[in-house]
Amino acid sequence: MRNSTTAGDHTMLAVLGIAMIVLGILLLLKSEALKPDFPDKKVMHVLLGSLVQEQNLSVI
Q: pLDDT tens for residues 12-51?
A: 888 899 999 999 998 888 876 667 677 788 888 888 888 8
Rounded to whole angstroms, the Cα distance separating 43 from 52 reads 14
**Phi, psi torsion values for 40, nearest 5 degrees:** -80, 180
pLDDT band (50, 70, 90) for residue 59:
low
Residue 3's pLDDT is 65
The domain limits of the chain are 9-59
More confident residue, 13 or 53: 13
